[in-house]
Every structure is written in C-alpha cells, then in structure tokens.
Amino acid sequence: MRVFNFAAGPSVLPEEVLKQAQADLLDYKGCGFSVMEMSHRSKPYMEISLEAENLLRELLNIPQNYDVIFVQGGASTQFEAVPLNLHVFGKADYVVTGNFAEKAYKEACKYGDISIAASSKDKNFTYIPENISFRSDIDYVHITTNNTIFGSRYREIPKANAPIVADMSSNILSEKINIEDFGVIYAGAQKNLGPAGVTVVIVRNDLTDKADKLCPTMLKWSTQIKEKSLYNTPPCWSIYIMSLVLKWVKNLGGLDYIQKVNEEKAQLLYDCIDNSDFYTNNIEKRYRSIMNIPFVTPSAELDEKFVSEASAQGLKQLKGHRLVGGMRASIYNAMTVDGVIKLVEFMKQFELNNK
C-alpha cells in the first residue's frame, strides 16, 4: 500500500514513474533486460541519457551556452568540485543560510581566500540575507537556493560582479527560474529529479575551462562535458528514472503548472500553521520554503506523539531534522495536493485532541 511520504530526500517519486519503471524492469523496450543491465555505451542507454538532458533543457529553458552534465558523488562532492573548477588559491564569497551552505563554505576554505559575505546563523537560519555586498575581485559567489533542513528559500537571486554558483538540490524544478542569473547550478537528484545516485550540474560554458591542474579528472566538469556524461560508467538506472520524472513533469504542463501546484500545497500547510496557536514555523514569511516546511507543537513530547500518530495514519517520515527537531513536511513535486490535505486534516484533529 502506498502512503503519503513526506521525506526530505530520498523522497517520494511519482506513482506513474514507479509503475513505468516496474513495467520496464524485466524487459526494457524489447531488449530482454533492464536499464540496470545494459551497457552505458549501448544505443538505448545513450538515448535515455540524451532524452534526460533534452527534457531538463526544455523544462528549465537552459540556453545553448550552458552545458548539462550528470555526475556522481552527490551535491556534497560539488562542494569541493566548485572551487576546484572555478579557482584554486582564488577568491570566493559564500552566503551561509543553513547547514549545507555552511558545509559548502567549509570545503571551499581549503582552496583559497574564501569569505562569508553574509550569514543568517545569528537568527538560527530563519531568514535569507538580502542586499549583500560582495567583494569586487572574487571568482564566484556561492548560495544555497533552498535550505532543506531549516525550510527557507531565496526570493531573489543576488547580483554580483562574479558568477553565482547555486546549490539547488532541494528546489530545482519546483518553480520557474532564469538560468542566466547563474553561472553554475548543481543539484543532487534525490528530491525533485529522481533517485539518489545522480547529480545534475549546469555550467555556463565560459566557466568550463578554469579547472586547476590539481582538480581530479572525475571532478572536472570538462571531463564529463567532453564525453557527454559518459566518461565513466554513469548511474544509468538513476538517470533513466530521472528521464521518466522529467517526462512526467512535462506531461503535467511543465514548470508553470508545477509551480502553481507547489505554491497551493505550501499555502495550505502554512495557513494551517498560521491559523493555529498550537503549531509554529519560525521562518520569516517572505523566505519560507515551498518545498520543506518545518513546524513544532508546544512541546517535544507532543512532537513525538504527532510523528507517531501521523505515521499510524499513513502520513510518513514527518520527523524533523535532528538540528531543528519537531516535524518537517517535505512537499516536493511528487507529493500530491491530496497528501497535503490529509496532513492538514490530521494536524487540525491532533490540535483538537491535544490542546
């Protein structure tokens, strides 16, 4: 039985995608074997990889002067790949708006003159700093567009005299973006794109030849750009599922539709929280994420009870991150409106029973 799965990642996948994968599992399009069992140099796999790239380009409206590659090692590997590709012993400014942003900053510190241009740590990451002044002679600025753990997101992408590098792991494909605001975007797939195992990197092509000689071949973006993400064995299955997810998004109506539904889902939950004096979400309203919504009840004991009773009713994986506590509802693209309505109904009933 399928339940409503609010996990932060790996997270819910569209049921249609899972059914298609199930149908293809033993025999992919008459090959007689699955995508997990085929050569990554075979025609069917190369078509899958190309289709995934083309769909991503279409959905995100990626201009031709940007390369799109599929790499491994998760978004965390890009924390180091970014400085190794864009400068070594150079300068970069980081905006620290959460745990992953801080991790990215710490990794980069090994490779140059890295500075925190702004941070929201002073208020436990409950807002996104704006009107930031960046240094004038930097190689890039790094931001994290959605903070998965704390539940905040950028409303405007900062402007700088240097390329903006964005970790978009937890909100890529959730709303329309202007790719040209960014020099580099990277995202682990395991939220809105597909299963864990593949990381998408989108790089403006004037930034692809700056890697230092110290940069490992496998971390160099140009390695996979030259080989069309086939330099070594790719995570074929993850890329195949991603291609199905992208097709699903396109068939629903693309990002116009997805964004509208995501905003509706988030509104339902925030309204429930704001209209009660039982639930609290501490993020400044302007910066609230539409993907990850943390909230607490008046006590840690009630939080625990909430998670366990919700789980018993098929509302799963709602426990908050250990850094924040309480609950977190991750409502990525594949979470249905129905799932959010069920959660809101449960929240209202739980409040009545425990006030």
Smallest gap, in angstroms, from Cβ of residue 144 to ligand PLP? 5
Q: Which residue reads 């792991």 in tokens?
A: 169
Smallest gap, in angstroms, from Cβ of residue 111 to ligand PLP? 18
Name which of 76, 117, 81 is nearest 99 in CA terms.
76
140 touches 165 (CB < 8 A): yes
Contacts of 258 (CB under 8 A, 6+ apart): 173, 174, 175, 249, 252, 333
Smallest gap, in angstroms, from Cβ of residue 179 to ligand PLP? 18
- Which residue in the set 120, 126, 169, 282 belongs to the binding site for ligand PLP (CB under 6 A)? 169
144 binds ligand PLP (CB under 6 A): yes
- Which residue in the set 4, 6, 7, 9 belongs to the binding site for ligand PLP (CB under 6 A)? 9
170 binds ligand PLP (CB under 6 A): yes
| Comparison of 146 and 297: residue with beta carbon closer to ligand PLP | 146
Contacts of 97 (CB under 8 A, 6+ apart): 119, 120, 125, 128, 129, 143, 144, 147, 150, 152
Backbone φ, ψ for residue 286 (5° rounding): -60, -30
State how far the Cα of 38 lies from the Cα of 185, in Å rounded to an integer.
Answer: 29
| Comparison of 71 and 258: residue with beta carbon closer to ligand PLP | 71
Site for ligand PLP in 95-114 (CB under 6 A): 100
Smallest gap, in angstroms, from Cβ of residue 174 to ligand PLP? 12
111 touches 139 (CB < 8 A): no
Site for ligand PLP in 38-97 (CB under 6 A): 74-76
Site for ligand PLP in 171-200 (CB under 6 A): 188
Q: Which residue is nearest to ligand PLP (CB)?
A: 74
Site for ligand PLP in 216-255 (CB under 6 A): none
Smallest gap, in angstroms, from Cβ of residue 269 to ligand PLP? 19
Token pair listed for 143: 């931001």
| Comparison of 49 and 148: residue with beta carbon closer to ligand PLP | 148
**Could you write out the DSSP letters of every residue in 75-139?**
HHHHHHHHHHHH-SSEEEEEEE-SHHHHHHHHHHGGGEEEEEEEE-GGGTT-S---SPPPPTT-S
| Comparison of 191 and 247: residue with beta carbon closer to ligand PLP | 191
Q: In this chain, which stretch among 41-49, 52-60, 164-172, 250-258 interacts with ligand PLP, using CB under 6 A?
A: 164-172
Name which of 176, 128, 169, 120 is nearest 148 in CA terms.
169
| Comparison of 93 and 167: residue with beta carbon closer to ligand PLP | 167
Smallest gap, in angstroms, from Cβ of residue 146 to ligand PLP? 6
Name which of 1, 2, 3, 4 is nearest 269 in CA terms.
4
The footprint of ligand PLP (CB under 6 A) covers 9, 74-76, 100, 144, 148, 167, 169-170, 188
